[in-house]
A and B are shown apart, each in its own frame.
Chain A
């Protein structure tokens, strides 16, 4: 019963957050310099035409009117249409303001729906790689605080955290794709194209996981119920795998939630370097083209994902540790 109430409360809070984010983004986009209509219609378009198109699209109305219209659309599941992208094919705001081939403009929702699964796939794989790297190192370090596994965990985290991801991405692409031809690197044409960018992201995230794990595992190991467990007759394996791991999972879970949200929202650099057609690449192009509706749409979807992931993380944490009340 209280679970339902808890979910309702959290979802209502989340809706408020998403609303505030969209209001902020909406306002900021319209305050910054640069006229999207000029970009759409091209530099050669006459001023009168620009004004006409702008008025047509409602871009000369007061901001709150525009926002109201926008929110009304969202409530009906309509995120609007891209300023620049045609529904079919490539995205270029043209020099051709009077181009007759110019078709219907693309729906923001379908643009996001096409690239979000790509990013989700990338984020999940990166998470899996990161955990595979970080779990053994982190847990081992936590079990032997002060000894060499602990120091090893610290050193390797320092190395990982100091590698700039764009540099690592380029070097690995050179080495693994160009030289050794093991995995493909640029663009997307099948699952294999996800591996390399996911690995680079994993290296970026792993140090945080390692650090959190060593600290929380070492903390749990020093608690008296672990100490007493051996006297009670439990074996070392039972103690480590059942009790230590479970008790150190909550801080890790919180971290994973934040990291995963960040992966979903903005792996801009990596997607750009690998030309990976996910949300990050879509965002970069949308920003460069001043594609207001698309930027807004991405921001709202990302914020909503962030909110949902946090709710899931908190629910999972209460399942692991019943002392954390809703």
Chain B
């Protein structure tokens, strides 16, 4: 490769690239043009359907039917890849590497990660010996901070966590020393704290390995964090390209301006967040010392997964109670306990005056009239063969409420309340969008007029605009019917917007319970601070990631370390944290946190 000569000029130059969806005859990319210099990081941002992923795939020569390049050129080091598909394929995996957003399924599950890294390098560079390839793979695994790389080299993909797998895929891309790395939504499936680590890693790699990076993502804060320049794609066209600070300060295109305006904020801006309801009244749901474990078979016989431990909180009538935490922290297991789908091993869950954990199945069914659940997946949670009206009426039938005409009236009323067209009463849910499906789910839950609605990641499948509309709907319904909400979510920005009180979970435990303002401005637990520091935002950060979080990932819930579960990643950990498990304790005025620093153990 005559890379040296071109080093100073452009590496990749895209001119008037047009990609057409041949079945529909419409263009997905319309005359996209941009240049990428060697070693540059360029973010590409746009809403879903703006053509980001199509662009990534076109550059990686990975377009498949019915998508087709119908115009323009892709010049890589001066050679047009559109006219020379054989050369383009030759570059794939060598000079142009691609990392996708789904690390979980990206490698063969039956081969060790190491063997596949070696296989890949030997496939594109047969002259390299297996020994050499192996040494290189281990060196790169160390470079992306995979602990015990030598041992991990011999492990299978299923033994890697999501974050580690994404690192391994980055190694896979870097094995052949590519000149261009296309990173397509690589932080999308990762938890915020892990995603922050990956972003930092990518910047370091860009420095150390002098690889140009095309960073495609759908979150503006992440894109600005990651790149030297940000390019905005809208409707298949490049509408704007600026350095991040310039883009935020003076967006040129209308789309960018709305994007920035509508971006929910964490610390700035006014919000009329309702004050937490008074604690004098009786709690509607009261959770004390709840624990749940599951049995799995581990390396040496049976093992226990501690999914939920020491969970404690109260939810008061009229509350918007948030439960946040990263994947694997036990949110969903807790949801199954709160709704009586499973029974806790220890502790009590009082709904009004009854212990859900011990209620008889019959009693539980009667109680469910007063608390309802809305799930995450808008597609899997609705029966595809039932008409919309029947879906909403079903809970009424189950509980034997009303006659046919009354049920019909109530279903129609619920439909119009959530903003579904009443005329679609008899049609199937097939044609509904994700947002409409979640409205239908809400209608089904509220038709029983429950007191408590539990929302398990109800909004995470929706885009920013649709989320905003749904939150308005929740607020209106609360005003009209006096609902109490529990929002289970991984999304801090969403929780910040709507919740009055928030519980933070880490490895099955509630480590902090505090009112909204207090949690965001004066968090009592180091993990909360770490979570806040990693949240993607354009605002000036209150908490700096470098100060709040050590490298690493949560320990496995199978072999929990003694003492505080967060100690291994906590920058403030001291001796006591490694031996004694902290309990939730009051930090004056309604805020609780489980940390030894609070009672002044050893102040930092």
A and B associate in one complex: yes
Using a CB–CB cutoff of 8 Å, the interface residues on chain A facing chain B are 1-2, 223-225, 228-235, 238, 242-243, 246-247, 320-323, 325
Q: A224-B102, A232-B172 are in contact. Are A321 and B124 (CB under 8 A)?
A: no
Q: Which residues of A contact B300 (CB under 8 A)?
A: 1-2
A1 to B110, CA, bound (A): 22
A283 to B381, CA, bound (A): 55
Q: Is the CB of B156 within 8 A of A231?
A: no
Q: Which residues of A contact B97 (CB under 8 A)?
A: 232
Residue of A nearest to B61 (CB): A231
The reply on B107 being an interface residue by CB < 8 A is yes
Q: Is the CB of A234 within 8 A of B106?
A: no
Q: Is the CB of B109 within 8 A of A323?
A: yes
- What sequence of 0s and 1s flags, for each residue 139-175 of chain B, a beta carbon within 8 Å of any chain A beta carbon? 0000000000000000010100000000000001100
Residue of B nearest to A224 (CB): B105
Some 20 contacts from A to B, beta carbons below 8 A apart, are A1-B300, A2-B300, A224-B105, A228-B106, A231-B62, A232-B92, A232-B93, A232-B97, A232-B172, A233-B92, A233-B94, A233-B120, A234-B93, A234-B119, A242-B119, A243-B108, A243-B111, A246-B108, A247-B108, A320-B110
Distance in Å from the Cβ of B122 to the closest Cβ of chain A?
Answer: 10
Distance in Å from the Cβ of A201 to the closest Cβ of chain B?
Answer: 30
Interface secondary structure of B, over-half rule = loop
- What sequence of 0s and 1s flags, for each residue 270-311 of chain B, a beta carbon within 8 Å of any chain A beta carbon? 000000000000000000000000000101110000000000
A233 to B299, CA, bound (A): 34
Q: Which residues of A contact B98 (CB under 8 A)?
A: 228, 231-232
Using a CB–CB cutoff of 8 Å, the interface residues on chain B facing chain A are 60-62, 92-94, 97-98, 100, 102, 105-111, 119-120, 123-124, 156, 158, 172-173, 176, 297, 299-301
Q: Is the CB of A231 within 8 A of B109?
A: no
Distance in Å from the Cβ of A77 to the closest Cβ of chain B?
Answer: 34
Q: Is the CB of B297 within 8 A of A322?
A: no
Q: Which residues of B contact A235 (CB under 8 A)?
A: 123
Q: A233-B123, A234-B119 are in contact. Are A225 and B107 (CB under 8 A)?
A: yes
A62 to B105, CA, bound (A): 62
- Cβ-Cβ contact count across A and B, 8 Å cutoff: 68
Q: Which residues of B contact A320 (CB under 8 A)?
A: 110
A232 to B158, CA, bound (A): 19
Q: Is the CB of A323 within 8 A of B158?
A: yes
Q: Is the CB of B120 within 8 A of A247?
A: no
Q: Which residues of B contact A322 (CB under 8 A)?
A: 110, 156, 158
Residue of B nearest to A244 (CB): B108
Q: Given B60, B61, B94, B108, which contacts A225 in the complex, CB threshold below 8 Å?
A: B108
Distance in Å from the Cβ of A245 to the closest Cβ of chain B?
Answer: 10
Q: Which residues of B contact A223 (CB under 8 A)?
A: 105
Q: Is the CB of B105 within 8 A of A225?
A: yes
Distance in Å from the Cβ of A4 to the closest Cβ of chain B?
Answer: 13
A2 to B213, CA, bound (A): 46
A243 to B109, CA, bound (A): 9
Q: Is the CB of A234 within 8 A of B108?
A: no
A174 to B210, CA, bound (A): 74
Residue of B nearest to A246 (CB): B110
Distance in Å from the Cβ of A148 to the closest Cβ of chain B?
Answer: 18
Q: Which residues of A contact B172 (CB under 8 A)?
A: 232
Q: Given A228, A234, A246, which contacts B100 in the complex, CB threshold below 8 Å?
A: A228
Q: Which residues of A contact B105 (CB under 8 A)?
A: 223-225
Distance in Å from the Cβ of B489 to the closest Cβ of chain A?
Answer: 27
Q: Which residues of B contact A238 (CB under 8 A)?
A: 119, 123
- Taking A229-B108, A232-B120, A233-B176 as known contacts, 6 extra A-B pairs with beta carbons closer than 8 A to each other, sorted by chain A number, are A223-B105, A225-B106, A225-B109, A234-B119, A243-B108, A247-B108
Distance in Å from the Cβ of A220 to the closest Cβ of chain B?
Answer: 9
Q: Which residues of B contact A231 (CB under 8 A)?
A: 60-62, 92-93, 98
Q: Is the CB of A234 within 8 A of B120?
A: yes
Residue of A nearest to B296 (CB): A325
A323 to B176, CA, bound (A): 29
Closest 5 CB pairs of A and B: A233-B93, A224-B105, A233-B124, A243-B108, A321-B110
